[in-house]
Chains A and B, each alone.
Chain A
Amino acid sequence: MAFVKVCEAADVPLDMGLRIDQGPEPIAVFNLDGEFFAIGDTCTHSDWSLAEGYIENGEVECTLHMARFCIRTGKVKAPPASEAVKYYPVKREGDDVLVDLAGGAYA
């Protein structure tokens, strides 16, 4: 488990995702009421950044074709996507948000 700092908490306001390009695949970090989560950033339907998406009820909606993914698990919540994105372990240390970039897994 190699957690690395990807951003500070203040970099990820509520309702906004942050794309991180430090790991093997781009990831999107989200802030749900002060708790931070990270999932694969690339929509599995059409290449598009989920960090750009619309956040609602713990889900992120891809702005391109409205596929929805669970921010906690990466699971598909609405078509046209049919494959999940990975979710990543996240830790908070003070102001820092740390992600295990090698620890992505499918729920």
Chain B
Amino acid sequence: MSETPKSIVIVGANLAGGYAANALRKQGYQGAITLIGDEPDPPYERPPLSKEMLVHPDETPKTLFVHPLIHYAENNIALRLGVRATGLDLSGRAVMLADGGKVMADRVILCTGGHARRLNVPGGDLGNVHVLRNLADSRAIAAHLGPDKNIVVIGGGVIGLEVAASARIRGCAVSVIEAAPRLMARVVTPDISAFLELAHRTRGCSLHIGVGVKALHGANGVVRTVETTDGTRLAADLVVVGVGIDPAQELAQAVGILCDNGIVVDEFCRTSVPEVLAAGDVANQPNPWLRRRARLENVQNAQNQGTAAAGSILGADTPYAELPYFWSDQFDVMLQAVGETVICDQAVLRGTTESGAFSVFYLTAGVVTGVLAISQPKSIAMGRRMVMKRSQPDPAALADENSDLRQLIG
């Protein structure tokens, strides 16, 4: 394994894959790099898909493509776009493509991401029922938004709530259906869920929380109504399903690479097969900050883990240890969260929820293990450092809005 590979193939022309390819070149790798993607576009950032691109469909967001196409040519990174990788040939050291071709690969980085879950109810496959995962999804949804349109969003997580906010801003009547008893239940505490619920209700979204979807009803093959488990019928010109992703682990599974809620990797992004690495949404990796294995579905992880996988191939000996971070913009509510923001001994509120700008510091055994901020980004910059330094600030000082957070990092 110590010899330098002659060819590296990255499956997934997305954020993780794009960062991996660029990192290989930046770190001096001179062999062949091929980036394979089943979409027609080079790597792009997904955050604008549920926000800027829905609100301003006629403008290209400032941050969409990681690099212009010319960048890949200039850096001798071969792009194979619009073609799906269909298999790994481990003994033949190649990646097989849907067009019948194959690409030689001494090493493979699987950045295959996830498949947006669809709705497994009657009518779930009607027209105008969309998931939101890629550019084409975003454009299709954006084309349906406008005043007098009834939009039903299924799923009150990050994607669902961002779509709901964008659709409201476009003047749609918006309903959100969430089966769990509260919004964003997987990643925030009940008080934050309650804050978000109020934020969405006061901005005109109709929320149906703790109810499921029984069926979608349509006419001429197109959805017209969403029927919930409590018998409510909601008119729908468009349904957006945001109920999470399943890791796209088929390529790995097919050749016996260990998978368990994603492709299982070690702290160097290595799978159970030495020549194959994985990064991004699909990679299930031990996380020292969460003290458990995790499959992080966020931007920071995609770019940094892709970079780490590249480094690992080239012999880097630093284990990857990403402190989880995600953000979500919903209307004027800017939510940022770092570290463990659900499990804690003590949650210290800095500011008031009524003001619409506040932070919560999560402490376990006196140590800051996570921070969540609503429209208070400086708290995240400081809080991230507290988590990394395992700071033990005085909770009363944290709660005092006049205290200098920088002094509390320690």
> What is the interface size of chain A, counting residues whose CB is below 8 A from a CB of the partner?
15
The segment out of B177-185, B253-261, B378-386 that lies at the interface is B378-386
Task: Judge if A80 is at the interface, Cβ distance under 8 Å.
Answer: yes
Contact B63 A54 (CB under 8 A): no
Cβ of B241 to closest chain A Cβ, rounded Å: 27
Residues of the B chain whose Cβ atoms lie less than 8 Å from the Cβ of A65: 299-300, 327
The segment out of A27-35, A44-52, A89-97 that lies at the interface is A44-52
Residues of the A chain whose Cβ atoms lie less than 8 Å from the Cβ of B19: 79
Task: Judge if A100 is at the interface, Cβ distance under 8 Å.
Answer: no
Task: Judge if A66 is at the interface, Cβ distance under 8 Å.
Answer: yes
The residue in chain B whose Cβ has the minimal distance to the Cβ of A79 is: B303
Cβ of B147 to closest chain A Cβ, rounded Å: 27
Q: CB-CB contacts of A53-69 with B at 8 A, as 1s and 0s?
A: 11000000101111000
Task: Judge if A82 is at the interface, Cβ distance under 8 Å.
Answer: yes
How far apart are the CA atoms of A24 and B358 in the complex, in Å? 33
| Residues A54 and B327 in contact in the complex (CB < 8 Å), given A15-B406, A65-B299, A80-B45 | no
Which of A52, A61, A80 is in CB contact (< 8 Å) with B63?
Answer: A80
Task: Judge if B146 is at the interface, Cβ distance under 8 Å.
Answer: no
Residues of the B chain whose Cβ atoms lie less than 8 Å from the Cβ of A46: 62-63
How far apart are the CA atoms of A66 and B385 in the complex, in Å? 12
Contact A63 B380 (CB under 8 A): yes
Which of B299, B300, B377 is in CB contact (< 8 Å) with A63?
Answer: B377
The residue in chain B whose Cβ has the minimal distance to the Cβ of A81 is: B63
Contact B327 A61 (CB under 8 A): no
The residue in chain A whose Cβ has the minimal distance to the Cβ of B307 is: A79
Residues of the B chain whose Cβ atoms lie less than 8 Å from the Cβ of A15: 406
How far apart are the CA atoms of A66 and B299 in the complex, in Å? 11
A-side interface mostly = loop
Task: Judge if B66 is at the interface, Cβ distance under 8 Å.
Answer: yes
Cβ of A82 to closest chain B Cβ, rounded Å: 7
Contact B63 A45 (CB under 8 A): yes
Residues of the A chain whose Cβ atoms lie less than 8 Å from the Cβ of B299: 65, 80
How far apart are the CA atoms of A91 and B406 in the complex, in Å? 28
Residues of the A chain whose Cβ atoms lie less than 8 Å from the Cβ of B385: 54
B-side interface mostly = helix
Contact B303 A80 (CB under 8 A): yes
Contact B67 A64 (CB under 8 A): no
How far apart are the CA atoms of A18 and B27 in the complex, in Å? 36
Interface residues of B in 116-149 (CB under 8 A from A): none
How far apart are the CA atoms of A49 and B58 in the complex, in Å? 25
Residues of the A chain whose Cβ atoms lie less than 8 Å from the Cβ of B268: none
Contact A47 B62 (CB under 8 A): yes
Residues of the B chain whose Cβ atoms lie less than 8 Å from the Cβ of A66: 300, 325
Contact A61 B45 (CB under 8 A): no
The residue in chain B whose Cβ has the minimal distance to the Cβ of A48 is: B377
Which of A45, A52, A82 is in CB contact (< 8 Å) with B378?
Answer: A52
Contact A61 B62 (CB under 8 A): no
Contact A54 B381 (CB under 8 A): yes
Interface residues of B in 51-85 (CB under 8 A from A): 62-63, 66-67
How far apart are the CA atoms of A46 and B64 in the complex, in Å? 10
Interface residues of B in 7-25 (CB under 8 A from A): 19
The 6 closest A-B pairs by CB, nearest first: A63-B377, A54-B381, A63-B381, A45-B63, A79-B303, A46-B63
A-B contact pairs, 26 of them (CB 8 A): A15-B406, A45-B63, A46-B62, A46-B63, A52-B377, A53-B381, A54-B378, A54-B381, A54-B385, A61-B381, A63-B377, A63-B380, A63-B381, A64-B327, A64-B377, A65-B299, A65-B300, A65-B327, A66-B300, A79-B19, A79-B303, A80-B45, A80-B63, A80-B299, A80-B303, A82-B66
- Enumerate chain A interface residues (CB-CB to B < 8 A): 15, 45-47, 52-54, 61, 63-66, 79-80, 82
